[in-house]
Amino acid sequence: MNRYKRKEDCPLTFALTLIGSKWRLPIIWALWKNKTLRYNELKRHVDGITNMVLSQSLKEMENQGIVVRKQFLEIPPRVEYSLTEAGEALIPSLESLAKWGKAMQVKVKNHV
């Protein structure tokens, strides 16, 4: 008895499609901590991410309204990324989730 005909209609599932893949949280976190980062700076903050995945993710997050891209017409090129208001609105939820995650980590450690 789901409230939603399609799973995609559930706001929670929808939220997870926005932040649930492997690199979304690290990207959001780096932007939150630094407010504004250039492409390669961001890449250095998100350790291990490839160009492919980073540029793809940024493009998607821009379309989804989580991230703003600001391009300067300079050479060498300069592009700055930051969170939108909607992106920042996500932070409290993430902090709440992180708190739960932390408690779970402790529990697992003590149990095993």
Partner DNA sequence: TGACTTAGTAAGAAATAACTGCATACTTGT
Partner DNA sequence: ACAAGTATGCAGTTATTTCTTACTAAGTCA
Task: Give the x/- contact pattern for a second copy in 61-80, rule: CB under 8 A.
Answer: ---xx---------------
Residue 105: CB minimum distance to DNA, A? 18
Q: What angle do CA 106, 107, 111 make, to 5 degrees?
A: 120
Q: How many residues of this chain bind a second copy (CB under 8 A)? A: 39
Q: Which of 84, 46, 41, 40 is nearest to 62 (CA)?
A: 84
DSSP helix/strand/coil, 82: strand
Nearer to DNA, 36 or 99 (CB): 36
Q: Which does 99 bind (CB under 5 to 8 A by kind): DNA, a second copy, none?
A: a second copy
CB-neighbour burial class of residue 61 (10 A; exposed 0-12, middle 13-18, buried 19+): buried
Query: How many CA atoms lie within 13 Å of 42's alpha carbon, on the beta-carbon side?
Result: 30
Residues that bind a second copy (CB under 8 A): 1-2, 7, 10-16, 18, 20, 25-26, 29, 45, 47-48, 64-65, 86, 89-90, 92-94, 96-105, 107-108, 111
